[in-house]
Each structure stands twice: as structure tokens, then as C-alpha cells.
């Protein structure tokens, strides 16, 4: 379906936030993603992007994406020149990495743009909730305002390669943290990091672990 870019803004030096209005209401659960079909050549160029925010506006819906513009990226060439008012092809909303509808405590762990679906989930749940978010440098931070606006969220924002006031130093380290047995873990971002967290938590006996690898 043809979506319409209603807002385009850089969130930091390489993450762009794009809000897209879709011409119909599509069912959505927090954590899911949309597929963008760039249609830039004969070769298909489709990329999945998690949805940070979903809103119904009249008979349409609006999705907010936050996308890292990677060096040498195929889709980045288009994204860098995209602007408010452009049309963009969106193929549905998909995904099994979704917020479980219960009151179990929830721990969200994200690296880089792995934060995006966690923002949507943390916003929607009324469970006890904690968020661990990490980036390498201060300049990589984004959506700090969104994190701070989520009610009753205990947040741990890590900047691993430099000291930043208000942030925790080093990488996310859960070895000293303990969580109730029924805690659900939602882990998203770099595949190696997601696997490492999931394996560590499994080895500690936690069973409700949900992952999305970018």
C-alpha cells in the first residue's frame, strides 16, 4: 500500500525518524514491524523496521519508524534524500515479537535501534517494567525523551565508550541483577548481543524470553 511521509527528522547523527500515514487501518501489536519496499530498481529492496508508535487518525493509521542510516547501505541512499510529503511503499505490519498481554514483570533490553519496538511495548504495558538500553557513544543516543515519558518505567541507559552524565557506564551487565521468576524478557538489536543475553538469562533459569534480531 502507498504510505505518505508526514514527518521526517534526524534524531541524532545517523538515526532518522519517519512518520508514515497509511491509507487504511491495519491491525498492530506493540513490537511488530512494517516492511518498506523501496522500489528503487528492478531488484527488490525491502527492509523491515520496527514500529516505535502506532496511532489511528480518522480512517487511517500512522506509524513511526526510527532507522539507522548505515554506511554503504542500500536503503540508506533513498532514506537520506526522502522528505516529508514523499510517498513510500509499505507492505503490511508483521511480527511475532509482541508484548504478552498479562501482568508479569517485564524487562526490555535493547541495543541501538533495537530500542524501537521496546519503546512501543513499554508504553503499552502496565506491568512492573525495566528498560536497559545501550549505545556506544553519547552521540548515538536517541529517544531519551520518549523513555523518560513512559510512566513507571525504571530505565538504565548505558553509554559504553564514554562517560555521560545521567547515563550508566559500560555495557549492560545483568549479572548482579535479580528478577522475579515469572519475569518476561524482551531483547532486541544486534544479533550477537541478543543471543548472548538470551543464553545468559536461560542459563539462570528464566523461561519467558522473547527476541528480535536485526
Ligand X SMILES: Cc1cc2nc3c(=O)[nH]c(=O)nc-3n(C[C@H](O)[C@H](O)[C@H](O)COP(=O)(O)OP(=O)(O)OC[C@H]3O[C@@H](n4cnc5c(N)ncnc54)[C@H](O)[C@@H]3O)c2cc1C
Positions that interact with ligand X (CB under 6 A): 33, 47-50, 66-68, 70, 72-76, 113, 116, 212, 214
Rounded to a whole number of angstroms, the minimum distance from the CB of residue 58 to ligand X is 26
Rounded to a whole number of angstroms, the minimum distance from the CB of residue 68 to ligand X is 4
> What pairing do the DSSP bridges indicate for beta strands 2-10 and 208-213?
unpaired
DSSP string covering 79-128, please?
Answer: HHH--TT-EEEEEEEE-S----SS-S-EEEEEEGGGHHHHHHHHHH--S-
By beta-carbon proximity to ligand X, the closer residue of 6 and 69 is: 69
By beta-carbon proximity to ligand X, the closer residue of 66 and 122 is: 66
Q: Which of 89, 92, 49 is nearest to 73 (CA)?
A: 49
Rounded to a whole number of angstroms, the minimum distance from the CB of residue 187 to ligand X is 13
CB 72 within 8 A of CB 119: no
Phi and psi at residue 187, to the nearest 5°: -125, 130
By beta-carbon proximity to ligand X, the closer residue of 72 and 205 is: 72
Rounded to a whole number of angstroms, the minimum distance from the CB of residue 46 to ligand X is 9
By beta-carbon proximity to ligand X, the closer residue of 45 and 174 is: 45
By beta-carbon proximity to ligand X, the closer residue of 118 and 183 is: 118
Rounded to a whole number of angstroms, the minimum distance from the CB of residue 72 to ligand X is 5
Q: Which residue is nearest to ligand X (CB)?
A: 73
Amino acid at each position: 500500500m502507498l504510505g505518505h511521509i508526514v514527518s521526517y527528522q534526524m534524531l541524532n547523527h545517523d538515526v532518522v525518524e519517519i512518520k508514515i500515514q497509511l491509507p487504511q487501518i491495519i491491525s498492530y501489536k506493540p513490537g511488530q514491524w512494517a516492511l518498506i519496499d523501496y522500489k528503487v530498481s528492478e531488484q527488490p529492496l525491502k527492509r523491515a523496521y520496527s514500529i516505535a508508535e502506532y496511532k489511528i487518525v480518522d480512517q487511517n493509521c500512522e506509524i513511526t519508524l526510527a532507522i539507522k542510516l548505515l554506511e554503504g547501505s542500500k536503503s540508506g541512499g533513498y532514506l537520506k534524500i526522502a522528505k516529508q510529503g514523499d510517498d513510500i511503499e509499505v507492505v503490511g505490519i508483521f511480527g511475532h515479537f509482541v508484548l504478552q498481554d498479562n501482568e508479569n514483570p517485564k524487562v526490555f533490553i535493547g541495543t541501538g535501534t533495537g530500542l524501537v519496538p521496546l519503546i512501543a511495548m513499554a508504553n503499552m504495558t502496565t506491568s512492573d517494567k525495566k528498560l536497559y538500553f545501550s549505545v556506544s557513544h553519547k552521540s548515538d543516543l536517541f529517544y531519551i525523551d520518549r523513555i523518560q515519558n513512559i510512566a513507571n518505567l525504571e530505565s538504565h541507559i548505558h553509554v559504553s565508550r564514554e562517560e555521560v552524565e545521567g547515563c550508566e557506564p559500560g555495557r549492560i551487565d545483568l549479572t548482579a541483577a535479580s528478577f522475579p521468576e515469572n519475569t518476561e524478557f524482551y531483547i532486541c538489536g544486534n544479533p550477537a548481543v541478543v543471543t548472548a543475553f538470551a543464553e545468559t538469562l536461560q542459563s539462570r533459569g528464566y523461561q519467558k524470553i522473547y527476541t528480535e534480531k536485526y
